[in-house]
Chains A and B, each alone.
Chain A
Amino acid sequence: MFEYIVRKLLQTIPTIFGVALIIFILFNLVGGDPTYQMLGKHANQKQIQELRHEYGFDQPKYIQFVQYLKQIVTFDFGRSYATKQPIGKMILRGIGPSLTLAIPAFLLTTFLSVIIGLFVSYFRGTFTDKSVVVACVFGMSLPMLAYILFGQYFLAYKLGWFPISGFEVTFPERFEYVMLPILIWVSVSVGYDVRFYRTAILEEVGQDYVRTARAKGLSEPRVFMKHVLKNSMVPILTNLVIEIPMLILGSFLLESFFGIPGLGSITIDAIHNSDFPIIKAMTTLQALLFIFGNLATDILYTVVDPRVRLK
């Protein structure tokens, strides 16, 4: 396994290089020119030249790309064009709020989805199963914006159960502000996840070992919790790992509407402003998270399924 991990880690180098190259080309082709935005409405040609020189925009592209690679190695992406803030600090400041929202929402969604998935699989084909599937499809069909508008108007403004918007850095006050966004996140996500897990679980329900377990006289809950769930873990883990990088990158809509200063809104602002240093930092971070997430999944496969061997 050690060799496998080392090999996978070495493979990250060409992958990151490829990601960097694609981002660099894309940004230079279609990313827009931040110069005019940075100088404001009174820019003149001389100032533009000075700024280009100051930020190295006048350097040949290959030198700019080498600079970018250096930044990736040191993970020092300098300062934001738009806000002049150090990017490392912006990211560190944004991770906390994003995770305060994302981790509880993710755990709750996963827990509820797996439980409901098992439950409806147990009642497969019955009215209960069909009702839950219809409810899931209905829930998935509604855009997150609809949940947000409803939640803020009825649950926060009319009923006063939650703050309408805002954020505190102190604990536990900050949780007061993320309760409603978490509820919305779970409501939006649970439908998709239940359907996915139901399918994964149902695939296992038809397997021979399930019949064997039943023939041995095991109770249905025990069959599902002990055997079916364990064998469904591979697709479940795969699905979960795909979602992990998204957790850190945050939810732009929820963060914007609820005033949560997380990474989602930082990223979107950067795209709107052609703030290339932040875009570079966030895409690199995301690529690394995907790579390490996949590696972690591979390792977890061996844990949940002893038949899997990493070579």
Chain B
Amino acid sequence: MSTLRRFTISIFIGIFVFSLIGICGCTFKSKTDSSNTLHLSTPSKIKGLDPIYADDLYGGTEVSRTYEGLLQYHYLKRPYTLIPNIAESMPDISKDGKTLIFRLKKGVLFQDDPCFKATGGKGREMLADDVVYSFKRLADPKLVSSGWWIFDGKIVGLNEWREAASKSGAADYSKEVEGLKAIDRYTIQIKLIQRSSQFIYALAMSFTFVVPREAVEQYGKEFINHPVGTGPFRLAEYIPGAKLVWVRNPTYRNELYPSEGAPGDKEAGLLEDAGKPLPLADKLIVQVFEESQPMWLTFLSGKLDLTSIPKDSFQQAITPAKELSHDLQSKGIRLIKYPELDITHFSFNMTDPVLSKNKYLRQAMSLAYDEDQYIEIFYNGRALAAQGPIPPGIAGYDQDFKNPYRQFDIAKAKQLMEKAGYPDGKGLKPLIYATLSDTTSRQSTEYAVKMFREIGVKLKVDTYSWPEFQAVVKNRKAQVYAFAWGADYPDAENFLQLFYSKNVSPGPNDSNYSNPEFDKLYESALTMVDSPERTELYKKMARIVIEDCPWIFGAHRMGYALIQKRLKNYKPHDFDHGRAKYYKIDVPSK
């Protein structure tokens, strides 16, 4: 009996204690933030804060708050323009285009951290050796960075250094690499194997951001959670999977808000802070929202400064005329629309005997797929039907071009089916269609099944988790599959490489398309500088792909951002992940 009583009493005490703490919790108000605090969100958990692993948009964004690279994108100018970041100026490039000399800004300090023992925790100056060390980390095979591709086969001697590290089991960072040298404290020389006009974009990507060796060695495996950069913010609090708090880095160098921008920026108030020292905000609180509903409600309650619009809330926020609803307008919320540099598509597996040899079949399927209807149903109209592989906004996109195989036309598609040897689909076995198992993918698949059925093409649908799906596609075990590609940098080459035969699976050419004529043009364009001639080549390559139809071109999506009235200086940008340094909270209206 006494045991039962003790058991019951224990339960009561437990409930009482937890309830008491809970009630106390209710009476505590949230910590008050300084008024110049930005409240941002991220829709995905951050994997860590080591630049060499920042392979997704959200990881790249967080890393960019505290780390910096040699170059950065101009925040306001369009088309996208590279400018120096920790480099003093744009590089000196040799006549053959193979040697790049970067000079670093002097006095750029790493943030204060106990890892700097020689200076008693004071952040030391960032030097050319740090850049070389950081680039070598990207190549270190032990670290298995997903960003190695940006240097792979491009810098003289770096692949050999990696090879040696792989053989010996440990990378020797003291061993010199011919193409990657610190000439003096502030000068770096990079020698390329061949001229590449795209290489320079790598130096603005988060993979190449500069880290101090002391921090890597001091924190070891925990370095991923302990960033020590030169950037505008430093990490004040990190709850993995829940929240990051960044505060102004007091030792940040004197970098100023840009004084010039794109047409219309001045009228939009984006130049009001021209010449002011960055960052403009004191603190950033980044909350992880893996589900869209709580993010949306938090924004509506005014506790988030910026959000995208969840699919299910779109009609609540946007009128049929694609304008912001009156209700949200009355709260001072602003809508900003912008094209995203991406493309969705179906890939045909061009190593498959049925699809690879039958261009008419691929063209017929392309004609039978109504993209406009798809955009209405799945993107609430927020996308532009793609006519080719290059999205609007970068050189090579042809605004007036209409892809003859992407104008929804069932009659013409049926004619092509006859030419393909499958009138009304007769004689054609169901095509193996690989897709993901999430709700939207399954709904999209239903739509595709319906579309292709019109011309007698049946799909045998296999659903997979994301890792399984990747394995199926990379091992060429399906015939048709849907994918999307977002730009890594603002050059059409980044999209056209998806058709280069040396990039076939497991590389990014997931349709395994191979055309010697295309390859020849692609290789020529690689060594050309940005010019009307190169743009023409890009257009020519796009036309070849359009005619061969290894993809059904889908859509270039439009971004819809909502911002609170108090958030100033917001301008969408596809690549400048560190742009929060330009944001400002308008204190009086908060």
- Which residues on A are within 8 Å of B, measured CB to CB? 30-45, 47-48, 50-51, 54-55, 79, 82-86, 90, 93-94, 97, 103-104, 107-108, 110-111, 149, 152-153, 156-157, 160, 163-169, 171-176, 178-179, 182, 226, 229-230, 233, 256-261, 265-266, 269, 271-274, 303-304
Nearest residue, chain A, Cβ from B142: A54
Complexed CA–CA distance, A19 and B4 (Å):
35
B297 adjacent to A37 (CB under 8 Å): no
- Give the complex CA separation of A40 and B474 in angstroms: 12
The contact sample of 17 A-B pairs, CB cut-off 8 A, is A32-B465, A32-B471, A33-B470, A37-B470, A39-B146, A48-B506, A79-B221, A83-B224, A103-B14, A103-B18, A153-B293, A166-B242, A176-B28, A257-B293, A259-B290, A273-B466, A274-B468
With contact pairs A44-B506, A108-B15, A175-B24 given, residues A152 and B297 touching in the complex (Cβ less than 8 Å):
yes
CA distance A243 to B142 in the complex (A): 41
Interface 9-mer from B42-50, B83-91, B274-282:
B42-50
In Å, the complex CA distance between A179 and B1 comes to 34
Shortest Cβ gap from A34 to chain B (Å): 6
> Which one, B26, B242, B508, contacts A41 given CB within 8 A?
B508
Known: A36-B470, A43-B507, A175-B25. A274 touches B465 (CB 8 A): yes
Q: Which of B1-51 contact A (CB under 8 A)?
A: 1, 3-4, 7, 11-12, 14-15, 18-19, 21-22, 24-26, 28, 30-31, 45, 47-48, 50
- The answer to whether residues A51 and B144 also contact, given A40-B55, A104-B18, A265-B290 and a CB cut-off of 8 A, is yes
Interface of A (DSSP majority class): helix
Complex Cα distance, B144 from A55, in Å, reads 10
Question: Which residues of chain B are within 8 angstroms of A39 by Cβ–Cβ distance?
Answer: 146, 506
The interface residues of chain B lying within 8 Å CB-to-CB of A51 are: 144
Q: Can you name 15 extra interface pairs (CB under 8 A) apart from A176-B28, A256-B290?
A: A32-B468, A35-B471, A39-B146, A43-B474, A85-B48, A97-B242, A104-B15, A152-B297, A166-B243, A168-B239, A233-B7, A256-B291, A259-B289, A261-B240, A261-B242
Contacts of A47 in B (CB 8 A): 148-149, 152
Give complex CA distance A61, B93 in Å. Answer: 51
Least distance between B415 CB and chain A CB atoms (Å): 36
Partner of B31, one of A82, A173, A260, A261: A173
CA distance A259 to B28 in the complex (A): 19
Q: Tell me if B515 is interfacial: C-beta within 8 Å of chain A.
A: no
B241 at the interface (CB under 8 A from A): yes
**In whole angstroms, how far apart are the Cα atoms of A160 and B507 in the complex?**
50
* Chain B residues within 8 Å of A272, by CB: 465-467
Q: Is the CB of B467 within 8 A of A166?
A: no
Given contacts A44-B506, A167-B243, A261-B239, contact A36 B291 (CB under 8 A): no
Contacts of A233 in B (CB 8 A): 4, 7
B144 surroundings in chain A (CB, below 8 A): 38, 50-51, 54-55
In the complex, the answer to whether B294 meets A258 with C-beta atoms within 8 Å is: yes
Q: Say if the beta carbon of B287 comes within 8 Å of chain A.
A: yes
* Residues of chain B with a CB closer than 8 A to A303's CB: 3
Q: Is B53 an interface residue (CB 8 A)?
A: yes
Check A111–B15 contact: CB distance below 8 A: yes
CA distance A51 to B221 in the complex (A): 18
Given known contacts A50-B166, A182-B22, is B242 in contact with A167 (CB within 8 Å)? yes
Partner of A304, one of B4, B48, B466, B485: B4
B251 within 8 A of A: no
Which of A32, A82, A94, A97 has the largest number of chain B CB atoms within 10 A? A32
Q: A85-B224, A167-B242 are in contact. Are A274 and B467 (CB under 8 A)?
A: yes
Whole-angstrom distance between the Cβ of A198 and the nearest chain B Cβ: 18
Question: Which residues of chain A have C-beta atoms less than 8 A from B45's C-beta?
Answer: 83, 265, 269
* A179–B20 alpha-carbon span in the complex (Å): 12
- CA–CA, A110 to B10, complex, Å? 12
In the complex, A154→B425 CA distance in Å?
53
Residue-wise, chain B 383-405 has the 8 Å CB interface mask toward A (1 for contact) of 00000000000000000000000
Task: Report B's interface with A, CB cutoff 8 A.
Answer: 1, 3-4, 7, 11-12, 14-15, 18-19, 21-22, 24-26, 28, 30-31, 45, 47-48, 50, 53, 55, 141-142, 144, 146-149, 152, 166, 221-222, 224-225, 239-243, 287-291, 293-295, 297-298, 300-301, 303, 464-468, 470-471, 474, 485, 506-508
**In contact, B26 and A176 (Cβ under 8 angstroms):** yes
A32 near B467: Cβ-Cβ < 8 Å: yes
Point out the residue from B298, B300, B470 that lies within 8 Å of A165, measured CB to CB: B298
B500 to chain A, nearest CB (A): 12
What CA separation (Å) do A275 and B422 show in the bound complex?
Answer: 43
Residues in B with CB closer than 8 Å to A94 are 241
CA distance A191 to B529 in the complex (A): 69
Report chain A residues within 8 Å CB of B142.
Answer: 54
Measured CB to CB, the closest approach of chain A to B319, in angstroms, equals: 22
Contact A84 B26 (CB under 8 A): no
**In the complex, residue of chain B having the shortest beta-carbon distance to the beta carbon of A275:** B467
Tell me how far the C-beta of A302 lies from the nearest C-beta in chain B, rounded to whole angstroms.
10
The residue on B at minimum CB distance from A55 is B144
Give CA–CA (A182, B468) in the complex, Å.
35
Given A54-B142, A259-B242, CB of A164 within 8 Å of CB of B294: yes
A107 and B47 in contact (CB under 8 A), knowing A40-B146, A156-B297, A272-B465?
A: no
Q: How far is the CA of A165 from the CA of B290 in the complex (A)?
A: 10
CA of A304 to CA of B467, assembled, Å:
49
* A-side contacts of B30, CB under 8 Å: 163, 173, 176
Q: Check A257/B291 contact, CB under 8 A, given A36-B506, A44-B152.
A: yes
Complex Cα distance A108/B222, Å? 38
- Say whether, besides A39-B146, A157-B297, A304 and B3 are in contact (CB < 8 Å): yes
* Chain A residue contacts of B147, Cβ below 8 A: 40
Q: Which residues of B contact A265 (CB under 8 A)?
A: 45, 241, 290
What residues of A have a CB within 8 angstroms of the CB of B303 in the complex? 164
Q: Which residues of A contact B468 (CB under 8 A)?
A: 30, 32-33, 274
Q: Smallest CB–CB gap between A127 and chain B, Å?
A: 29
In angstroms, Cα B298 to Cα A156, docked, is 10
Closest to A104 in B: B18
**B297→A164 contact, CB < 8 A:** yes
In the assembly, what is the distance between CA of A303 and CA of B141, in Å?
Answer: 58
Nearest A residue to B11 via CB reads: A111
User: Are B166 and A45 in contact, CB atoms less than 8 angstroms apart?
Assistant: no
- Residues in A with CB closer than 8 Å to B152 are 44, 47
**CB of A131, distance to nearest CB on chain B (Å):** 25
Residue of B nearest to A41 (CB): B508
Please give me the residue from chain A that is nearest to B497 by CB atom.
Answer: A42
- How far apart are B29's CB and chain A's nearest CB, in angstroms? 9
In the complex, chain A residues whose CB is within 8 Å of the CB of B240: 85, 90, 93, 261
Asked if B506 and A43 make an inter-chain contact with CB atoms under 8 angstroms apart, the answer reads: yes
In the complex with contacts A42-B507, A261-B239, A304-B24 CB distance below 8 A: no
